A and B are shown apart, each in its own frame.
Chain A
Amino acid sequence: MMHYLDANATEPLRPEAKAAIQAAMEIVGNPSSVHAAGRAARRAVEDARDTIAARFGCQPGDLVFVSGGTEADALAVHAFGQGRRILVGATEHDAIRSAAPTATVVPVLADGTIDLDALAACLADGQPSLLCLMAANNETGTIQPIAAAAALCRSHGALLHVDAVQAAGRMPIDFARSGATSMAISSHKLGGPGGVGALLLSPDHTGIAALIRGGGQERGRRGGTSPVAAIAGFAAAARVAGDCTGLAALRDTAEQVAVACGAIVVGAAAPRLANTACLALPGCRADTQVIALDLEGIAVSAGAACSSGKVAASHVLAAMGLGDLAGQAIRVSLPWNATAASVDAFAAAYARMAARLIPPLVSRAA
């Protein structure tokens, strides 16, 4: 039996999303077509747009469907980064880091939250800037002080792009009140299907240059035929994905077991997503931990996996000043349907693993 505790990689598909996808797959048309079949497809897409926009506090016309979180981030950097200095938080996802490889990195504090003083110092020169800051971190769950960062950006005339890929569906999001210029959201991180996401735009920044122009879909902001079924599934998942506070008790149980085995909970000093635990086991390689747990049927992850599957040391944890521990931490992220049985299985497997991996202490002769 497999216990899936890697929700921050992807959430299990919600049944509401599955039903919506199945229904939408019966629709034949292309949303761009003139005829009745096309109109039916278009209606499904626009209904979904209304739902998702309402759910996250955005005008429907200001929501651009894209292929996922990475594209939403890339589109935001493309649209707002040109002619501006780009600032990125030190713990941003590779979707941002790769889209803005020459950006100025704003450090984080030891608890993983952005150093607001350093940010203010960066912005003080008044240079036109774009700040990219994630709402919640994928590895630690650390929730960034978006409101404070937005206020700083506003007072210095800078734009703010928020990567809310991990946050959407797990904590309250109100884009309209966030002060952000744009926001990235991904379907599969909130229990929808993979392959679709959205970029939300604030009303005064709706006319953006496309990355992919194609046939002018999405009001010229993202070319390509809309994936109707995926978008319908995205909306159905967004409608039911509230927040994940109900998972806090299970997450805390997992953390307590790990701590009893010698683990350190990373980022515990700051507000975090209630489903995420980042557990460092001193002296034990992260990849070995992930493999050992996988062999016991527990799915967790570490760092950022590249296409080879290799686990690299985490830049997020390194930015938090964890040194060697950055290569010794795993991430447990509870899915929306996590059960006590799964957490119990994790706890038992973790204890067995720790007993085998932790270098034995030299016992003192009596």
Chain B
Amino acid sequence: MRVVVAMSGGVDSSTVAGLLQEAGHEVIGVTLQLYDHGAAIGRKGACCAGQDIHDARRVADKLGIPHYTIDAEKRFADAVMADFADSYAAGETPVPCVRCNQSVKVADLTAMARELGADRLATGHYVRRVDGALGAELHRAADPARDQSWFLFATTQAQLDTCLFPLGDMADKRAVRDVALRLGLAVADKPDSQDICFVPTGTYADVVRKLRPDAMTPGDIVAADGTVVGQHDGIARFTVGQGKRLGNAAMLGGERQMVVATEPATRRIVIGPRTTGTDTVRLREVNWLIPAPTERLRCAVKLRARDGMRLAWIDATDNGAIVHLDEATLPAPGQACVFYAGDRVLGGGIICRPG
């Protein structure tokens, strides 16, 4: 069949292209130009395309498949970068990779695949697609260390039905590199990409400052009772649950403190003892990969990319959900809460600020 492969220029998606071609499919490589690389690294006159685009093209050359670079700069700036800065300015901690998968990568590329008469879109994500009775199911990757299912919860059922994730069953990254080596791909030993792709140098705070300077202006650090206990250099530098960057306020009354809330309207960071928590979490923008439950749903949830599973009950609401955690914790607004039954992703949503 004809398959569009989203090629980033890294070893994962390159291996996907190679594997699908080896399996006899008609493979079309597509690389998204998401941002001006020259501008991102702050070098005047540098090419707008980073090394990754050239690597993707060379892999396509090696495999003998057509390859195209798609200009997604404006879409990425609107749907991912602006959302990233706005979210911080609203006192949240965004997950840009969720937004990117949700818009530029999965939504736009499945649409493009359809326009190009392709049957499937394949990506290098570490998740498994399992074909169930009601359509494709999204499952965690075989390698728990690489699993990216949390970042893909917003994939709609229709999109998922179009997607292939050939790396989901790989035992580990070494296995992927071995395949790349066997296929003779020059990127077999390329280092993994780091953190947020659009801040290759410097810090994410510079990006936020450029787009939303209001999120990077100083303000007060206050205790729960409103007492000013310190100063901070921008709410965008703080995440609920964070203990760093609090200065002298890190320890109050002999108790270690953490951020318990950010208040964008007053530019205040509220701190409290590490025992602060809640067992009720409101979600917005909920996506279901099962028929939306009409009754309270028992499942495991994951509140951060690197967090463990927590047991919870879910009440579905219109366009949202309320999560009742068995044990109280302090989730960060803006992060995702993803629902699991074993390895299967049932759905998920974005964590709202309390109140």
Contacts and interface: CB of A to CB of B under 8 A. Distances in A.
Q: Contact size class for B?
A: 10 to 19
Contact of A310 (B49, B66, B112): B49
Interface in B34-83: 47-49, 53-54, 57, 66-71
Interface string B302-318: 00000000000000000
Interface string A265-302: 00000000000000000000001100110110000000
A307 B116 CA distance: 23
A91 to B, nearest CB: 20
A287 B109 CA distance: 13
Given A287-B71, A308-B33, A310-B70, A356 B49 contact: no
B115 interface: yes
Given A356-B115, A357-B115, A291 B49 contact: no
Contacts of B49: 306-308, 310
Contacts of B71: 287, 310-312
Contact of A288 (B48, B54, B69, B116): B116
Interface in B85-133: 112, 115-117
B28 interface: yes
Contacts of A292: 115-117
Contacts of B69: 308-311
Q: Which among A295, A307, A308, A311 has the greatest number of chain B C-beta atoms within 10 A?
A: A308
A312 B73 CA distance: 10
A357 B28 CA distance: 18
Nearest to A291: B68
Nearest to A289: B115
B28 A295 contact: yes
A308 B47 contact: yes
Interface residues of A, number: 15
B117 A309 contact: no
A312 B36 CA distance: 12
A62 B333 CA distance: 71
Interface in B272-297: none
A292 B118 CA distance: 10
Contacts of B116: 288, 291-292, 295
A214 to B, nearest CB: 24
A288 B112 contact: yes
Contacts of B28: 291, 295
A311 to B, nearest CB: 6
Nearest to B114: A356
Contacts of B67: 309
A292 B47 CA distance: 27
A291 B49 CA distance: 19
Contacts of A309: 53, 57, 67-69
Contacts of B47: 306-308
A59 to B, nearest CB: 38
B4 to A, nearest CB: 10
Given A287-B68, A294-B66, A310 B33 contact: yes
A297 to B, nearest CB: 11
B69 to A, nearest CB: 4
B33 to A, nearest CB: 5
B52 to A, nearest CB: 10
B45 to A, nearest CB: 11
B227 to A, nearest CB: 54
Contact of A308 (B48, B66, B115): B48
B33 A356 contact: no
Interface string B9-21: 0000000000000
Contact of B48 (A291, A306, A356, A357): A306
Nearest to A306: B48
Contacts of B54: 308
Interface string A302-323: 0000111111100000000000
Nearest to A311: B71
B115 A295 contact: no
A285 to B, nearest CB: 8
Contacts of A357: 115
A303 to B, nearest CB: 9
A52 B54 CA distance: 38
Contact of A287 (B66, B70, B117): B70
Interface string A329-358: 000000000000000000000000000110
Contacts of A310: 33, 48-49, 69-71
A190 B105 CA distance: 41
25 contacts: A287-B68, A287-B70, A287-B71, A288-B112, A288-B116, A291-B116, A292-B116, A294-B66, A295-B28, A295-B116, A306-B48, A306-B49, A308-B33, A308-B48, A308-B69, A309-B57, A309-B68, A309-B69, A310-B33, A310-B48, A310-B49, A310-B70, A311-B71, A356-B117, A357-B115
Given A287-B68, A310-B71, 13 more contacts: A287-B70, A287-B71, A292-B115, A292-B116, A295-B28, A295-B66, A306-B47, A307-B49, A308-B69, A309-B53, A309-B57, A310-B33, A356-B115
Interface of B: 28, 33, 47-49, 53-54, 57, 66-71, 112, 115-117
